[in-house]
Amino acid sequence: MMQGFPPKPEAQVTLANWRSPPFHVWGFQHVREIVPSADIPNAPNAVWQLPSRPDDLSRITFEHKGKRFDFESFLRGTDTDGIVILHRGGVVHEAYAHGMTRHTPHILMSVSKSLLGIIAGILIEKGVLDLDRGVADVIPELGDTAFAGATVGDLLDMRAGIHFDEDYLATSGMIVDYRKSHGWNPREPGDPLSDMRSFFRNFKQSDGPHGGRFRYVSPNTDLLGWIIERVTNTRYADLVSTQLWQPMGAERSAYITVDRLGAPRCAGGVCATAMDLARIGQLIVQSGRRDGTAVIPVSWIDEITEHGDTEAWDHGDFAGYFPNLSMHYRHKWYVVRGVRPLLFALGVHGQYLFVDRTRQVVVAKLSSQELPLDSELILLTLAGVEAIRAQLD
């Protein structure tokens, strides 16, 4: 893809095809060349240096649905572009494919939501954001929409009773209009100018009560970004930089896609390196602290880990993707419950951040899977991560 000056038409990655195979392999690593973006600067003089402690993961083998996998076949089978594995604060494995390198920012898709969950926790700890505050109280422009009566907490836990069909393969309808509003799809002839903030006024239908079952609606997270910007009077990209990216010691700047008016795509538009994504996981392992300084409130991490609603999850949209697992969703993070809970962030096409606080294991995995949500590859990824956790126990 994108070889030659200019590339041949059939090899050109454009706004119309950048999320579709085979163009997405290149597109996921070059998003800022396709969609407008805002920078999330790091602090180059304060990089968190993670020690290298290589481990031989070729010993990992596991069986999944009657097939035997080793570590390399697991990576290939899940279309891995980049993976970083940490254990007890050291880098035990780092690998890249499909043109990606340690310094390549890759789109995180909905792992971006989990980063917003961290920013929200920091702001709540500072008394700037209130979980119980009504959406329409902060954004009165939405007082006559289905968001009326929902709270910040409802949006964080995906329990706002909003009707929205999140069909990633749809070619028409509200989800396509949503993508056009934030500049991820091209406008068609005759389409009016759109933007993300005005798009929220289209939500007129409810789908149950606020605070009910888990209902996965990506625009909830973009709306939270608007709420955060309004209560802080600060651009979201700048907040991520000052509250997380710089204090964490990110090695590289990240960026986030924005619409034509600069509204951030908080639900899926963050692009970062696999190593910096792993640093977020290590920060969680260390109870939110780096060099003795609190970056993420440990009370927020504990809240995510311990206080999700399993009933809301069991009656929600995604339980079928994770059969026979006791799980919950809290503040934009998934949690597999148990003696050794597994926290993870998930994005379409195979983006993940796994955190095992007990074993002190972090797995940051960025991919270019063909389907947005592939139930078989989700289960294979979970099986592979479980084998990694067992190897590093």
Q: Please give the average per-residue pLDDT across 166-185, as a whole number.
A: 95
- Annotated active-site residue 299? The verdict is no
**Residue 44's Cα: distance from chain center in Å?**
24
* Percent of the residues in the chain that have a pLDDT greater than 70, as a whole number: 100
pLDDT score, position 94: 97
Can you give the pLDDT at residue 49? Answer: 96
Catalytic residue among 20, 52, 73, 110: 110
- Per-residue pLDDT for 155 more than 90? yes
pLDDT at 193: 93
**Alpha helices (runs of H) in the chain, residue ranges in sequence order:** 24-27, 71-77, 111-125, 135-138, 152-156, 174-181, 196-199, 219-232, 236-240, 246-248, 274-285, 298-306, 310-314, 375-391
Per-residue pLDDT reduced to its tens digit, 292-343: 999 999 999 999 999 999 999 999 999 999 999 999 999 999 999 999 999 9
Could you tell me the strand order of the sheet in which 333-336 lies?
90-96, 80-87, 361-367, 351-356, 342-347, 333-336, 327-330
Antiparallel, parallel or unpaired: β 327-330 and 67-70: unpaired
pLDDT tens-digit series, residues 192-240: 999 999 999 999 999 999 999 999 999 999 999 999 999 999 999 999 9
